[in-house]
Amino acid sequence: MCICLEEGFLAKFILINIGIPNKKRIPDKHLITALTKAYMARAQLFHEGVKASNIDLLIAEIDDIDAKSIDWSKKNLGVSKESLKRVIKAGGYPHQVFAHPQIIIKRPHLIGYYRNIVTISKKGIGQILFSTERYESGGKKISAEDAAIICETLNQILSGVIETLPNYTIELSRQAILAEIGTELQGTWANVIGRGAANAVKELLREYIEKEKLGLYLKDGSFKLNNNWNIIFGNEPDVAFFDNKGVKQIAIEIKGSLDKAGAQTRYGEAKKSFGKQLSENPRCHTVYLASCFTDAVIEQIKQDGQVREWFNLTSILYDEPERKRFLNRLFHIVKTPI
C-alpha cells in the first residue's frame, strides 16, 4: 500500500524530530509549546488532585484517634506479630499504619487512608474485593463483615512489606501514600491527554466546516456535510467520515500523549483499529495523528502499510500551514467523487 506523505513535510519531520548526524539539532518550537502547555496542565491536575485527596486531614484524623482504645489482640486482623513489633519499635501506633474494623466501621472514609498506605488503587481494591468508592466518599456506612474483610486484606499486604524493611518508619508509609496518589493521578492524566487531543481535533474540524460552510454541527456531536457525508466521533476509530451511502471512507486515530516510551504501544493500538477499518473497506483512507513519533514507529508505519497518511498532531494544532495542509487533504477526499 502506498503511504501519501509530501517530501517537504517528511524532510522537515526528519530534521526536527529525528535529527541529522553531526549537525546541530533544531528545536521544534511547536513541540516545545505543546509540552509547556501539557505539563502546565499536568501540574495543575496533580496539585488539585492532592488537594482533593484531603490527605493532610486524614492523617490528622488518624493521629487524633486514641490508640489505647483499640484492641489489636483480636484474631483475623491480618497483622503479623513481626510487623506489629516493627511499627511499635519505630515509635508509632499500630492504627497509624494498620486498618482496624473498630475504626473503619465508625469512620468508613478512612479506608482511603489505609488503601493508599498499602498503595492499592481504587480499581485494584475493586478487583481484589469490591469497590470502596462509596465508603471513601463518606456516602455510605459499612457493615462489620465488609470492614473486617478490608482490614484483613490490607493488613496482610502491608505486614509482608514491613517485614522486609529493617529500618521501617511510619513516615515511610505516609510517603507511600503520596506515591500512590501520584500514580492514580498519572492514570487520570493519561486519560485527559487522550480526551483533550480528540476534543482539539473536533474543534479544529468544526471551525473549518463552519468557516467553509461545508455543513452543520449536530446536537449529538457529529457533523452533517452538505454532500450528505457524516463525521462521527467515537472509538475505533476516533473520527470516521461516512459517505452518502454510509460507507466509511476516512478513519482517523488520535494519540495525544507526548511520552516517547509508549509511542510504539500507542501505534499498535491504532494499527489494530486501522486493520478493522480496512477489512470493512480496503479503500478507506487511514490517518494517524500523534504528538510523538520515534524512528521505530515511523519504520513500523512504513512496513505495515496500513496508514495512508500520518501527521504530527502538535504541528497541526500550533502551525497554521501544517493545519491547512491536513484539512485540505481530508476535505479533498470528501469532495472527490468516489
Do 278 and 320 share a structural domain? yes
Q: Which of 31-35, 74-78, 314-318, 323-327 has the lowest mean pLDDT?
A: 31-35
| Higher pLDDT pick, 132 / 295 | 132
- Per-residue pLDDT at 151 exceeds 60: yes
Any domain includes 100:
yes
Do 36 and 66 share a structural domain? no
Q: How do residues 205-226 score in pLDDT, each as one tens digit?
A: 999 999 999 999 999 999 999 9
Q: In what order do the strands lie in the sheet with 230-233?
A: 215-217, 223-225, 230-233, 239-242, 248-255, 285-290, 309-312
pLDDT band at 34 (very low <50, low <70, confident <90, very high): low
pLDDT at 26: 55
Do 26 and 106 share a structural domain? no
- What's the structural domain count of the chain? 2
Any domain includes 187:
no
Residue 212 phi, psi dihedral angles, 5° rounding = -90, 0
Q: What is the CATH number of the domain that holds 17?
A: 3.40.91.10
Any domain includes 189:
no
pTM above the 0.85 mark?
A: no
Do 62 and 143 share a structural domain? yes
**How far is Cα 43 from Cα 38, in angstroms, rounded to an integer?**
9
Do 76 and 36 share a structural domain? no
Do 207 and 139 share a structural domain? no
- Mean pLDDT value across residues 89-112: 95
The percent helix, strand, coil of the chain (3-state, each to 5) is 60, 10, 30
Any domain includes 175:
no
Do 243 and 158 share a structural domain? no
Any domain includes 173:
no
The domain containing residue 311 runs over which residues? 7-41+195-332
- Per-residue pLDDT at 1 exceeds 70: no
pLDDT at 24: 53
Report which of 94, 46, 97 is spatially closest to residue 72, judged by C-alpha positions. 94
Do 324 and 221 share a structural domain? yes
Residue 195's DSSP bridge partners are none
pLDDT band at 40 (very low <50, low <70, confident <90, very high): confident
